[in-house]
Chain A
Amino acid sequence: MLFVTLAYFLFFFAVLVLFYGLSSFQYRKYLLLLASYFFYGSWNWKFLPLLWLLTLIDYYAAIWISTTTAPRRRLALSFSLVANLAFLGIFKYYNFVGENLAWVLGKPLNSFFVDIVLPLGISFHTFQSISYVVDVYRGGQKPIRNFLDYALYIAFFPQLVAGPIVRAGTFFADLYNWRPPVSREVKRGASLLILGLVKKLVLADNFAAVSDNYFGAIQAHPGSLAAWGGLFSFAIEIFFDFSGYTDMAIGSALLLGFHFPRNFKQPFLAISVTDFWRRWHISLSSWLRDYLYIPLGGSRHGAWNAYKNLFLTMVIGGLWHGARWGFVAWGAFNGLFLAFEKATGLNRVRERPLKLLDLPWVILTFVIFCLGVVFVRANTMREAFTVIDALFHKPSGVWPIETALLVLLGCSLLITLLEDRGLIHATLEERPFWLVGCWLGSLLFLVEIFGQHQHRPFYYFQF
């Protein structure tokens, strides 16, 4: 059940009616849990037992950690981590490892191949579980004693399949102090839900058509203009695809009275790669910082160790995105830039509205991002280098992006700039309901006319 389908909206509408129709919050929690399992089961019900098993393991591991002595606490933590990572490893990385092992042994690459279906959202709910158990181990989070509450934390449908990765503290603060959303939250939630729809169907999917066309037959589209156009389209596609999904997840949760963390903060207005990673998929970046970079040593043991840890964190983060060398290369590419910026002092982070003088840095950061995602989108490393090679030639070939699409992109850039100055949400939420309704209706009309209605899955679902 994709967020962008009518089926999801009908499902969500039914959940809302039942949720607010129930008098006891206890029953509402049960309803959310049932709805979440229904939502997950509608993809593939066969993976529900796996989700239940991991939920059970981490629930008891956390309780074990909190009730046992020091050596066994570590054992309980290890047990939970091994279980989570083993499932993730088997489902996501088995064939990748097998293929590389076969290559090393000089056997046919499919020698160890097993036809494995990746359970939807496993990368996200595994990270969420790990963060919970580690937080309990570190003492920053009390173990949850109610199994169904914990199960809801893992399975809550707005974030189950592709994040944002919600920390236990945030979720349970909402769950145990639940209050219905206030007027401004209702307006914001509904706006995010529809804005996400616009981002996905109008922008991401239209740009996806251009990038698919280019990357589907790179040799058929020679010249640097075609390469830049295809790459630019892919960069725009993944941003609007994922931030659209996140907006819809945050909006859905907000309408149910839950506050998810912000996951994107105008990343294409970043002034450095460091700044970019504080604005792009923030819940993952902060997860990698707290549960990988810092445990690796962070910047505690000198500059070189800090660079090494940054690099390693990004490589592992790249591999988390997908079991391909392209993702490893992408992670390494970003890791190198982060380390370079740290070493040279170029790791500036912008906390203020954008200025005109920032523009060259913004463009440079965007170009670096585009160069990095070549490795993500290209099917092979050879293809990736072919594209990079094509980029650095004098203008030739056919520019693939239509004017109408660029106009839409221009409008969204304008909105992003306004958002950067905090003007969009604040202004909208102060307006009366009827005016907000008119704005949302206009957006829906935009989706109706300019949206791609083939229901292309969200890009991040494959992670």
Chain B
Amino acid sequence: MRSDTTSTPDGLDPVDTQQPSSPLFSILGLAAIALLVQFTLDAVSFRTGYYADYIEPESYAGSYESVLNNEGSRRLIGSHRVLVFGDSSIAEGFSARLANLVVPNNWSFSSVGTPGATPRAWFYLLRDLDPGARRYNVIVLPMVDYADADGIYRPDIDKEADRDLDLNRLIVRLRLPDTLDFPFTWLDGGKKLSVLWGTLFKGLVYSEDIRELLRHPELRLRKVELFREHSLEWQDSYPGRPESLDGLQYDFARNRFTLPAAIPLDIRKGIEELPPPGARRVDGYRRRYREKWLGAIIEHYRQVGATIVLFRVPSRPIPIHVSIPANGTRFVDRAKSHPNVVVLDEQLFADLETPKMFFDSYHLNAAGRVEFSPRLARAVVQAAGQ
């Protein structure tokens, strides 16, 4: 093969003019090798599970892992083992310990309510916590409404399918085959691409955590150790928040809140941003999302005959009157057709949606927790025990 040298206009070293078979194949080859090496380094670092043991316990992923590990290590007793899923409304509002005080001895409740967790996150947690669908007899799934109304939250977080944080929360749980479907459960094209990249190269998601670890390694190790030893105990003994919105008033006619002066600014802001009661739009996003993820959980337990209980969680310090008629197209109507699904009365806990039971715009306080936990437990026993 001919080879000589020539100088380049960039003034760097002379280069040989030996032609590769095709520049494109050379470039693609280089890219493929580079990506393979990157993937291998990433996999060795983050797919082996070692790093996951040291992630920040209070991060999205860390708190989810903590909840999963605590629940996984819990020795379940009784013939009726109930798992309550949920986001912060359950983490704050429901106590498995209080629930277990009022149910028969052969029933045991536990909860994996985690702030910000979505039905998609519940599904992936369940996949690892109870892969054979034998660990629990009853799965309890909260919903903020039965109408599948869109626009219940702020518009920017309304499309649950596009919530970025699900990737952060689930990063430890995601496996390589998930690359083929998990990113495509996002609706936005750009997000699909970034989630795909994050699922494939987990370091992209862990990078912030790694930097924080490098900043304060000793602190992290101590914190991880502390959480390993005590997080289950903290979770079980959590009493709820003592503050209350008592004194909050809502003028339905003028759509205006009157807030007690003592309410802190951030909570005040949250309340003022609450969408007013009344009509909601139904774009179909929430219904399809529920069908996808709550449907997947129902399907997971369908074969073994475990009972799925759906209920509306108290989620506002004032009652929400969502005026959307039940016309048979709602998710709950379809879910009810499954023999193993029970849907509790939508208004069962509506009386708890009062200011004195809440500490902010969305969460029950300690008093609400004390009231709600046994009532949910009794309702579940009654519905699933039949």
Residues on A facing B (Cβ under 8 Å): 6-7, 13, 16-17, 20-21, 170, 173-174, 179-190, 194, 250, 255, 257, 259-262, 402, 404, 422, 425-426, 429, 433-434, 436-438, 440-442, 444-445, 448-451, 453
Q: Mark B6-38, 1 if CB is under 8 A from A, else 0.
A: 001111110111111011101101111111111
Q: Smallest CB-CB separation from A184: which chain B residue?
A: B15
Does the CB pair B12–A441 fall under 8 Å?
no
Q: Smallest CB-CB separation from B13: which chain A residue?
A: A426
Does the CB pair B27–A186 fall under 8 Å?
yes
Residues of A within 8 A of B20 (CB): 180-183, 186
Q: Smallest CB-CB separation from B21: which chain A residue?
A: A183
Q: Contacts A20-B22, A182-B16; is A194 near B194 (CB within 8 Å)? A: no
Does the CB pair B12–A262 fall under 8 Å?
yes
Q: Smallest CB-CB separation from A253: which chain B residue?
A: B10
Q: Tell whether B207 is near chain A: CB-to-CB under 8 Å.
A: yes
Name the one of B15, B23, B35 contacting A441, with C-beta atoms under 8 angstroms. Answer: B35
Given contacts A262-B12, A402-B215, A450-B211, 18 further A-B contacts (CB under 8 A): A13-B31, A20-B23, A173-B9, A180-B20, A182-B16, A182-B18, A183-B16, A184-B15, A261-B10, A422-B13, A433-B29, A433-B33, A438-B33, A438-B37, A444-B38, A445-B37, A448-B42, A450-B210
Q: Smallest CB-CB separation from A17: which chain B residue?
A: B24
Q: Which one of A255, A426, A434, A449 has the highest number of Cβ atoms from chain B below 10 Å of its Cβ?
A: A449
Q: Contacts A425-B12, A453-B204; is A445 near B211 (CB within 8 Å)? A: no
Q: Tell whether B203 is near chain A: CB-to-CB under 8 Å.
A: yes
Does the CB pair B37–A441 fall under 8 Å?
yes
Residues of A within 8 A of B42 (CB): 445, 448
Q: Tell whether B279 is near chain A: CB-to-CB under 8 Å.
A: no
Q: Smallest CB-CB separation from B36: which chain A residue?
A: A441
Query: DSSP majority for the B interface?
Result: helix
Q: How far is the CB of B198 from chain A (nearest CB, A)?
A: 9
* A437 CA to B29 CA, complexed, in Å: 8
Does the CB pair B215–A404 fall under 8 Å?
yes
Q: How many A-B residue pairs have CB under 8 A?
A: 133
Does the CB pair B10–A260 fall under 8 Å?
yes
Residues of A within 8 A of B296 (CB): none
Q: Contacts A6-B197, A422-B13, A426-B13; is A445 near B41 (CB within 8 Å)? A: yes
Q: Tell whether B265 is near chain A: CB-to-CB under 8 Å.
A: no
* A179 CA to B16 CA, complexed, in Å: 13
Q: Smallest CB-CB separation from A201: which chain B residue?
A: B207
Q: Smallest CB-CB separation from A259: which chain B residue?
A: B9
Does the CB pair B26–A183 fall under 8 Å?
yes
Q: Which one of A181, A402, A437 has the highest number of Cβ atoms from chain B below 10 Å of its Cβ?
A: A437
* A17 CA to B25 CA, complexed, in Å: 9
Does the CB pair A433–B26 fall under 8 Å?
yes
Q: Mark B351-367, 1 if CB is under 8 A from A, else 0.
A: 00000000000000000
Q: Contacts A182-B20, A186-B20, A449-B203; is A441 near B34 (CB within 8 Å)? A: yes
Does the CB pair B38–A445 fall under 8 Å?
yes
Q: Smallest CB-CB separation from B203: which chain A residue?
A: A448
Q: Smallest CB-CB separation from B206: which chain A residue?
A: A449
Can you pick out 29 interface pairs between chain A and chain B where the beta carbons lie within 8 Å of each other? A6-B194, A6-B197, A16-B24, A170-B9, A179-B17, A180-B19, A183-B18, A183-B20, A186-B23, A188-B15, A189-B27, A194-B34, A259-B8, A262-B10, A425-B12, A433-B26, A433-B33, A437-B30, A437-B34, A438-B33, A440-B30, A441-B36, A441-B40, A441-B41, A442-B38, A445-B38, A445-B42, A449-B206, A449-B207
Q: Smallest CB-CB separation from B193: which chain A residue?
A: A6
* A124 CA to B204 CA, complexed, in Å: 33
Q: Smallest CB-CB separation from A435: which chain B residue?
A: B33
Does the CB pair A187–B24 fall under 8 Å?
no
Q: How far is the CB of B179 from chain A (nearest CB, A)?
A: 15
Residues of A within 8 A of B8 (CB): 185, 259
* A16 CA to B20 CA, complexed, in Å: 15
* A425 CA to B30 CA, complexed, in Å: 16
Q: Contacts A194-B34, A445-B38; is A425 near B26 (CB within 8 Å)? A: no
Q: Contacts A190-B31, A441-B41; is A429 near B11 (CB within 8 Å)? A: no
Does the CB pair A250–B15 fall under 8 Å?
no
Name the one of A21, A440, A453 contacting B34, with C-beta atoms under 8 angstroms. Answer: A440
Does the CB pair B22–A190 fall under 8 Å?
no
Q: How far is the CB of B171 from chain A (nearest CB, A)?
A: 13
Q: Smallest CB-CB separation from A180: which chain B residue?
A: B23
* A183 CA to B37 CA, complexed, in Å: 21
Residues of B within 8 A of A426 (CB): 13
Q: How far is the CB of A374 from chain B (nearest CB, A)?
A: 28
Name the one of B10, B22, B23, B201 contacting A250, with C-beta atoms under 8 angstroms. Answer: B10
Q: Tell whether B214 is near chain A: CB-to-CB under 8 Å.
A: yes
Q: Which one of B27, B201, B214 has the highest number of Cβ atoms from chain A below 10 Å of its Cβ?
A: B27
